[in-house]
Amino acid sequence: MTAIELDELEDKLVEPLLPSPPSEKGDLTPLELHPAVLLADDECQQVGGDNVVQVVEDTDVHQPVVEIRGSDARVVFNCHNVMQFLVLFVKNLDAYFALDIEVVDDTKTYRTFHITNSRSLARVQASACQMPLVFGKGGTWRHVCLDVHRMCLDAFGTHHVATVQVTVHATCRLLRVFFQDVDYSDAELPPMLALLD
């Protein structure tokens, strides 16, 4: 998958974070050269230890994916997105996994959602919400679709204005991360974002 037609994204309101949005020529940036992956790899090398962010070929999906391992490993996607749904295709590696979503609401307050499979209860504070994620066992791929509008309303009683940052912490593999305006089925997605061929 090296080139796509730009109109594949125009008939659906989606904004990819991973893989990178296509260039004007329709070329996709290889995962190894994705700015967030390069920055995460550099950060892991500086921190040292068992931290690794690398691109590997996954035998289940037969595609390159981003693998995040280590106690301080993470990939940060800076964005400014108003869409309702955040979608991840993520592989459980039988370890703890966490996801942070930073949003701005209609009171101009920055709020953070910390979603992890290491918790079993939700906890809401003034500007932070910790949420459990049931991830299941065994190295399987999961489709995680989060309604950030609903999450903001339920946790804080406010309205989501924009998502400004998405941080994926170890331990997992990432195939896709994107925003969408409605909860599309895999078959409705542009080929560059669909999990199944």
Using one digit for the tens of pLDDT, what is the confidence trace for 23-70? 777 778 899 999 999 999 999 999 999 999 999 999 999 999 999 999
d(Cα 104, Cα 112) in Å, to the nearest integer?
9
What domains can be seen in the chain, in order of their start residue?
Answer: 7-182 (2.60.120)
8-state DSSP, 98: E
Distance CA 92, CA 135 (A): 7
Give the DSSP H or E segment for 73. Answer: none
Rounded Cα gap, residues 98 and 116, in angstroms: 4
In the predicted structure, residue 163 carries a pLDDT above the cut 90: yes
CB 69 within 8 A of CB 34: no
Higher-confidence residue of 76 and 6: namely: 76
pTM of this structure: 0.90
Q: How many CB atoms lie within 10 A of CB 49?
A: 10
Instruction: List own/partner pairs for 4-9 with CB under 8 A and 24 or more apart.
Output: 4/28, 4/190, 4/191, 4/192, 8/190, 8/191, 8/192, 9/190, 9/192
Beta-bridge partners for 105: 160
Q: Six-digit token pair at 10? A: 């125009």
pLDDT digits (tens, 9 = 90+) for 69-93: 999 999 999 999 999 999 999 998 9
